[in-house]
Homo-oligomer: A and B are copies of this chain.
Amino acid sequence: MNPKLAQALFAPRSVAIVGQSDDPGKAAGRPLKFLRLMGFAGRIFPINPRREQVLGERAWPSLSALPEVPEHAYIVTATQAAVEAVEECARLGVAVATVLADGFAEAGEHGLAREERLRATCARTGIRIVGPSSLGVVDLRSKAMLTANAAFDAASLPLGRIFVGSHSGSMIGALATRGSARGLGFAALVSVGNEIDLSLGEICAATLGDPGIDAYMLFLETMRHADALRRFALAAAAQGKPVIAYKLGRSAAARELAITHTGALAGEDDIADVFLKSCGIARVDTLEGLIEGAALLARVPAAPAGLSRKRVGVVTTTAGGATMVVDPLANRGIEIEPASAATLARLAAAGIDVRPARIVDLTVAGARYESMKSALDILLAAPEFDLVLAVVGSSARHYPQATVRPIIDSAVKGKPLAAFLVPEAPEALAALSQAGVPNFRTPEACADAIAAALARRPPLAIAAGRLGRASCKAQQFGAAVSDVGSREELYPTYEEKGDARSGRVLDELESGTLLDRLGIPRAPAAVLAADVAHFPELPFPYPVAVKILSAAITHKTDIGGVALGVADAPALLAEIQKMRDRLAQRLPPIRLDCVLVQPMISGIGEVLVGYRVDRDVGPLVMLAAGGVLAEIIRDRSLRLAPADLATAREMIAEVRGLIALAGYRDKPKGDLDALAQAIVALSQLADDPAVAEAEINPLIVRPAGEGVIAVDAVVRLV
């Protein structure tokens, strides 16, 4: 936490609005209007060199003409003037400058140059910048309405205890107004823009000492500055303040938009997923799940490590309405747990007539206070449920005393209870919110938030040194996965794009040595001189595989540099000769010195295990199934590296193509213990700063008890 920064950001004693317009309808006209509307108590200095007055107040010609140095300047001028204003702020000693203008990283070469200039100013002077492209900073307690977002044109926004950090400026307004309509108030909201200096994580962290903030709500467009986000998340977890996040980028189209819109590269979505989970941040998928889910986190603390929580008990007055939530819950992997025999007996003893079924349906018992209250109390005390969901039908609107009041009365502090109301029932929703009971307007947001809350775990403690240890623009895993079965394409542009991928690639033999060091079994290999003339003595029987051995050639298959199932010694010599001829013809500058010979290895499955240092989130380990369909459906599991055995087993369970190896139908079981050990071993590369990427493909999985064997591997150094 950083109280001084937090003060300059959210409770400055004096503010300047650089470029304040006289037109309250324009973006640049709004900050002064909103500050006055809300009654900001600090000193306000509107700056406009072309006017004596703005919105009826004295306008100052420049920052340097002010009678004092403001603590926080909101710069709402056009792009070039904004760069100059930041520099003036820095000269004068303004603590924080928030910049509205866009035209930086997202605007090509000129924009990047401007951004560099701002960064240099920060580094030189210590001024802190929010933005650029920031719609501003709003604190509903201090009334510091340093924002150009039109949504803050209302004095009635409810004050609350949630802090909002958003990459999108529009969304701070949307969350404030939508939250307000759902009875949710906010303490402060910040649009972080392009984060060229202050990142979302750093800004949130600065507020951690704020006693008026209980929880954090994030709207994310990228995983930029993931290290700062993780530091914040760890500290927030230590204080028991939950963090809920919505992140754009589930689709490739959205990730492409993030580049044109913010200038930030959006990483693959499952990496963001794993990262947020490792930070103990609950990720939701729906806009209303974000707003409505915040209250649920307070009742569903992060699951203890190793404990999977996914059993929801449902009590309802409408089976059809309840099923609307059951469908999306089940499709998110949540189990709709039937009441146990003991629970059914307790219900019967309480005079509640329900049929044994997947949900507790009170239709027969009737939508009465007593039955709903008793049913809730019995379900909340039952050990078979991780969370109890009450789904109320038409009575929620017309007889809330009968069916909504008991939910409020049963919602003792901390009980994992949520409510979904099937009809339009704003008063009942408001009553639930008022009482602190998590409540949902749509079945989709309800299922989304419940699944996110139950999946939340305490953050992993990762050594700080590993954070953001991205060495270069690392290859995306996608490229690796997409080459299961022909891994030579894994580094398709390595030689061509030496600029982007500076590290040396180890040849297959060197890569094998690294596997040995990690303790990952690999196929035996013999190196033969490519000009071998006599029949070689091999330490293993035929048939064999033979491959070109050269770090300079990563597309071995493409140039005919791999032959499989070579039956005997004469065939081996013939294959080697063919490889030499082909290489001489296609890549004359490269001389074939050596070939690698391996026995043919068979197993009952093939997987790919990969490691790389991600640009945003640092070291990752990945497991993917072999085969084209696995590739098409991106059947893979990721974790931060290093991973432990329990984590590796989770990864194996997540890859659907490996279900067959766990003993599916009459299929033989694979040695998944050995596979888990190999995953753990490869993930230890996180402790080796020299390695940027490593990939074993294929790793052959043999029957249970017979281990795994790496047949090929590629390693790239930093």
Contact = CB atoms under 8 A, between A and B. Distances in A.
Interface of A: 25, 102, 149-151, 153, 166-171, 173-174, 177-178, 180-181, 219, 221, 248-254, 256-258, 260-261, 286-288, 317-324, 326-331, 335-336, 355, 357-359, 361, 363-364, 393-395, 397-399, 422-426, 442-445, 486, 625, 627-630, 632-633, 635, 656-657, 659-660, 664-667
A166 B320 CA distance: 10
Contacts of A149: 394
Contact of A628 (B25, B174, B632, B667): B667
A357 B256 CA distance: 9
A102 to B, nearest CB: 7
A393 B628 contact: no
Contacts of A357: 257, 260-261
Given A168-B321, A320-B261, A361-B261, A327 B251 contact: yes
A173 B393 contact: yes
Given A398-B153, A486-B665, A251 B331 contact: yes
A566 to B, nearest CB: 21
Contacts of A660: 628-629, 632
A41 B445 CA distance: 42
Contacts of A398: 150-151, 153
A327 B423 contact: no
Given A171-B320, A178-B424, A288-B442, 20 more contacts: A102-B363, A102-B364, A150-B395, A151-B398, A168-B321, A170-B394, A170-B423, A171-B321, A173-B397, A174-B321, A219-B320, A250-B328, A250-B331, A253-B327, A253-B335, A260-B361, A261-B320, A286-B443, A287-B443, A627-B627
19 contacts: A149-B394, A150-B394, A150-B397, A170-B422, A173-B397, A177-B423, A181-B424, A219-B320, A249-B327, A250-B330, A253-B327, A253-B336, A254-B323, A254-B330, A257-B358, A286-B442, A627-B629, A629-B629, A632-B659
Contacts of A444: 286-287, 444
Contacts of A358: 253, 256-257, 260
Contacts of A664: 628, 632
A254 B327 CA distance: 6
Contact of A257 (B331, B359, B442, B628): B359
Given A248-B327, A394-B173, A318 B168 contact: yes
A261 B354 CA distance: 11
Given A254-B330, A286-B444, A358-B260, A422 B323 contact: no
Nearest to A557: B666
A424 B180 contact: yes
Contacts of A395: 150
A252 B331 CA distance: 9
B288 A319 contact: no
Contacts of A178: 423-424
Q: Which of A177, A181, A445, A629 has the most CB of B within 10 A?
A: A629
A440 to B, nearest CB: 11
A660 B486 CA distance: 14
A320 B664 CA distance: 44
A320 B355 contact: no
B221 A320 contact: yes
Contacts of A635: 629
Contacts of A153: 398
Given A287-B442, A442-B286, A151 B261 contact: no
Contacts of A171: 318, 320-321, 422
Q: Which of A177, A336, A423 has the most CB of B within 10 A?
A: A423
A606 B486 CA distance: 21
A328 B625 CA distance: 26
Contacts of A657: 628-629, 632
Given A150-B394, A394-B151, A170 B320 contact: yes
Given A177-B424, A320-B261, A486-B666, A326 B253 contact: yes
Nearest to A177: B424
A213 to B, nearest CB: 22
A395 B345 CA distance: 56
Given A287-B442, A442-B442, A443-B287, A330 B252 contact: yes
A251 B330 contact: yes
B630 A150 contact: no
Nearest to A330: B251
Contacts of A363: 102
A260 B166 CA distance: 45
Contacts of A317: 170
A336 B329 CA distance: 28
Contacts of A355: 260
A665 B629 CA distance: 13
A684 to B, nearest CB: 29
A424 B578 CA distance: 70
A368 to B, nearest CB: 10
A151 to B, nearest CB: 4
A697 to B, nearest CB: 15
Nearest to A167: B320
Contacts of A166: 320
Given A248-B320, A397-B150, A326 B102 contact: no
B327 A250 contact: yes
Nearest to A153: B398
A233 B167 CA distance: 46
A426 B398 CA distance: 23
Contact of A423 (B173, B336, B633): B173
Contacts of A288: 442
B167 A257 contact: no
Nearest to A261: B319
Nearest to A181: B424
A625 B102 CA distance: 50
Nearest to A291: B424
A629 B661 CA distance: 11
